[in-house]
Amino acid sequence: MAWRDTGTDDPRVRVRPSRSKPRRSKKQVDYSASPTAFVFAVDRGRIHLQMNQTKLVGVKARSLGRRGIVVGDQVRVTGDLSGKHGSLARIVEVLPRKSVLTRSAEDSPGAKEKPMVANADQLAIVTACANPQPRPRMIDRLLVAAYSAGLKPLLLLTKADIACPDPILELFAPLEVSAIVTSIENSQGIDAAGEALAATTTVMVGHAGVGKSSLMNSLIPHADRQIGQVNQVTGRGRHTSTSAIAVEFQGGWLIDTPGIRSFGLAHIETDDLLAAFPDLAEVAAKCPKLCPHLLSSPGCQLSTLGKIDPAKTRRVESFRRLLASQNSQNPLV
């Protein structure tokens, strides 16, 4: 190393050696020509991808930072794309998402949002007619999440051989949500469910034990999802699925998720929910400024809608039930 004049003879002064490597360029690499792949599973830091008919295992590039990758993402990949055992692809870019199903850890303001699934078209809310008992408040919350994310909601009722599904169907009829009644034991509604889920990217969400994995195994036998039994003492299902996974189904994707026990909605605003009801939004536009649209709200025009059109009364009541579920401070409903 060449001698450098430090301006002192003090041996305690340490001279930093000159930079031997050139500075990194701030010009980012263009990956627009790199192939794209679909994320069908994320498990313990390894991201499982499908590129055409080749299945890959990938890791995030350092340039992506702490941004999370979820099932349903479309990404650009480089590196070893052979798909051989032990090969590792490099994810260099996450393409813009057309939709994101998000939940928050709790309902308090400022709660951290957690994306669950990206680029889905439909949210299938799976609930059992019995064993475990249906929880309408949780269904309300999932409907709010679907409307906010721009997903088409679909109500899938399972275990119709145990209890009558009519009470649940009647409760959500005013919201005009499509519903399919199924039973694995006697194959009721399986074909109808397959038609509703075909050629779409559908995410199935519901409590543990309601039959999400069983329904997927009936529709896609090679999926081989693990199933469990409902605890007869607590009435709750056992968590058999630990992470979300997408399986190809009739020109689309069917995404199975672990059972949920809570679903926070702190990230959703009232206007986001109201936008999913165009007929009510037109009337609500005449409400006073910052009107919460609840039954006790003075001057709310939704309260007068039932007098003008009695057929809308139940629809307004159902909409306000969704609002009450959204504003609840308890996500464990």
User: What's the confidence (pLDDT) of residue 180?
Assistant: 96
What SS3 class is residue 154? Answer: strand
- Residues 106-123 have pLDDT tens digits of 655 666 788 999 999 999
In the chain, list all ranges with CATH 2.40.50.140.
36-94
8 Å CB contact between 284 and 291: yes
8 Å CB contact between 198 and 204: no
Whether residue 237 is predicted with pLDDT greater than 50 in this model: the reply is no
C-alpha to C-alpha distance for 52 and 33, rounded to whole angstroms: 16
CA count, 13 A, side-chain hemisphere, 256: 27
Confirm or reject CATH 3.30.420.40 for domain 36-94, answering yes or no: no
Q: Token match 């308090």: residue? A: 108
pLDDT band at 35 (very low <50, low <70, confident <90, very high): very high
Longest dimension (CA), the chain: 95
237 burial (CB, 10 Å; 0-12 / 13-18 / 19+) is: buried
* 202: nearest Cα among 182, 229, 221, 220: 220
C-alpha to C-alpha distance for 312 and 288, rounded to whole angstroms: 21
Paired tokens of 73: 């993402």
234 burial (CB, 10 Å; 0-12 / 13-18 / 19+) is: exposed
8 Å CB contact between 256 and 244: yes
Q: The domain at 100-256 falls in which architecture?
A: 3-Layer(aba) Sandwich (3.40)
- pTM summary value: 0.81
Which residue type sits at 234?
A: T
User: What's the confidence (pLDDT) of residue 166?
Assistant: 94
pLDDT band at 221 (very low <50, low <70, confident <90, very high): confident
- Residues 252-276 have pLDDT tens digits of 999 998 888 778 787 788 888 888 8
Paired tokens of 232: 């007869």
C-alpha to C-alpha distance for 56 and 200, rounded to whole angstroms: 23
pLDDT band at 231 (very low <50, low <70, confident <90, very high): very low
Question: Percent of the chain at pLDDT above 70?
Answer: 84
Which residue type sits at 226?
A: Q
In the chain, list all ranges with CATH 3.40.50.300.
100-256
